[in-house]
Copies of this chain bind each other. A is one copy, B any other.
Amino acid sequence: MPTFHSLSLIVEIVATLAFAASGLLAAARKRLDAFGVCMVSGVAAFGGGTLRDVLLDRRPFFWVQHPGWVWALLGLCLFALVGLRGRHLAFTERAILVPDALGLGLFSVLGTMGAWSAGMPAIVAVLMGILTAVFGGVLRDLLCNELPKAFSDHQPYAVLAFAGGWLAIGLDRLGLPESATLGLAALVTSALRLCALQWHWRLPAWRALEPESRQD
A208 with B147: CB separation less than 8 A? no
State which residues 92-127 of A face B: CB under 8 Å.
Answer: 120-124, 127
The answer to whether residues A124 and B67 also contact, given A55-B54, A89-B208 and a CB cut-off of 8 A, is yes
With a cutoff of 8 Å between Cβ atoms, the chain B residues found around residue A61 in the complex are 55
**Judging by beta carbons under 8 Å apart, are A31 and B159 in contact?**
no
A81 at the interface (CB under 8 A from B): yes
Residue A28 interfacial (CB < 8 Å): yes
Chain B residues near A33 (CB, 8 Å)? Answer: 151-155, 203, 205-206
The complex is assembled from copies of this chain, and their number is: 3
Q: Which residues of B contact A155 (CB under 8 A)?
A: 33
What residue in chain B is nearest A208 (Cβ atoms)?
B84
Chain B hits for A63, CB < 8 A: 124
Among A4-12, A36-44, A191-199, the stretch that binds chain B is: A36-44
Known contacts A159-B34, A206-B31, A207-B82; is A39 also within 8 Å of B123 by CB? no
A124 to B154, CA, bound (A): 37
Measured between C-beta atoms, what is the minimum distance from A68 to chain B in Å? 9
Q: State in angstroms the CA–CA spacing of A83 and B67 once bound together.
A: 48
Is there contact, CB below 8 Å, between A144 and B147? yes
The 4 closest A-B pairs by CB, nearest first: A36-B151, A67-B121, A84-B208, A35-B158
**24 A/B residue pairs, CB under 8 Å, sorted by A:** A33-B151, A33-B153, A33-B203, A34-B206, A35-B134, A35-B158, A36-B150, A36-B152, A39-B138, A40-B151, A50-B55, A54-B55, A56-B59, A63-B124, A67-B121, A67-B122, A74-B123, A81-B206, A81-B207, A84-B208, A86-B208, A89-B208, A145-B147, A145-B148
Question: Assuming A37-B206, A81-B206, A89-B208, what are 10 further A-B pairs, CB within 8 angstroms?
Answer: A30-B147, A32-B151, A32-B152, A32-B206, A54-B55, A82-B207, A85-B208, A85-B216, A142-B145, A145-B148
